[in-house]
Amino acid sequence: MRYRLGGLLVAAAGGMFTTFDGLEWLGGFVAVVALLVALAAELYTVAARPDRIWYEGRAAAESAKTLAWRYMVRGEGFGDDGLTIDTRFSEELQGLLTDLDHVPPADGSGGQITPLMRRVRAGTFDERRAFYREFRVVDQLSWYSRKARFNARRLRQWTTMMVIFEVAGIFAAGLLWAQVIAFDALGLVSALAAALTAWAQSRQYQTLSSAYSVTSQEVASVLSQLDSLQNESAWERFVTEAEEAFSREHTLWRASRGIRVGGR
């Protein structure tokens, strides 16, 4: 996206320089090279589909993380002991990998069930609850709250920049109309404003800020409920509902991009 928008901006700047005597060839050359860069970026995106690979990777990673936490803290489907539990975990994880077009190699440092996962799983109810509270629920609450504020701040910044360049475009149009300037600064400023708008829309600052804010409130509710749990009786179901709250925004994100990855 940066190369595409940057190429179009540089091409607009090259077009502006064609109005200067003696620089027509330079402006045309710059415009051609910049448009070729933008075209190459577009063709690469269509051919290699790096966005699709990234989307699938993130979807699988989020699903695997949820699966690992259910295993560690004895969530629903993983409450019993025995070799069948390890088998179930491996089978569900394998189901995630089979849906991927690009499966990364194992890192070679150990199995899919790590020693930490086994230690947490072997702990008492209070130990598992405390671990889940600190490293899952509180971590997710902090992440979603931080991301909500980040995207809201970015939205304000980019909106301000777009307004500034739109005002600059009006000013450049006035100067051109009054024949104060002879070169087409309006085209460059307009292209820059359009590029900023396209970039802000591609980042979805407004959508993400709203979605992350709602999810942070859901996670805060999960934290309140967790502190009231005192025994194992409702723990398995609670973990499932908590993981659903964590993944709800991710599920909507995945659906909006047409990504399907197996697993719960």
3-class state of residue 219 by DSSP: helix
pTM of the predicted structure, to 2 decimals: 0.81
Predicted local distance difference test score (pLDDT) of residue 51 = 83
| 68-77 mean pLDDT | 93
Give the dihedral sign, CA 230/232/235/237: negative
CA–CA distance, 31 with 29 (Å, rounded to integer): 5
CA-CA distances (angstroms) from residue 96 to 17, 23, 75, 99, 107? 53, 57, 19, 6, 17
Predicted local distance difference test score (pLDDT) of residue 264 = 42
| 34-50 mean pLDDT | 93
Q: How confident is the model at residue 18 (pLDDT cuts 50, 70, 90)?
A: low
CA–CA distance, 65 with 124 (Å, rounded to integer): 22
Q: Tens of pLDDT along 204-250?
A: 898 889 989 998 999 999 999 998 888 888 999 999 999 988 877 66
Q: At residue 176, does pLDDT exceed 80?
A: no
One-character DSSP codes across 59-92: HHHHHHHHHHHHHHTT-TT--S-SHHHHHHHHHH
Q: Which residue has the higher pLDDT, 83 or 52?
A: 52
Predicted local distance difference test score (pLDDT) of residue 132 = 97
Contact between 242 and 222 (Cβ < 8 Å): yes
Q: Tens of pLDDT along 73-100?
A: 999 889 887 778 999 999 999 988 887 7
CA–CA distance, 142 with 154 (Å, rounded to integer): 18
Q: DSSP code of 183?
A: S
Predicted local distance difference test score (pLDDT) of residue 211 = 87
Q: What is the chain's length?
A: 264
Q: How confident is the model at residue 253 (pLDDT cuts 50, 70, 90)?
A: low
CA–CA distance, 2 with 199 (Å, rounded to integer): 8
Q: Which two tokens stand for residue 13?
A: 């700047």
| 28-55 mean pLDDT | 90
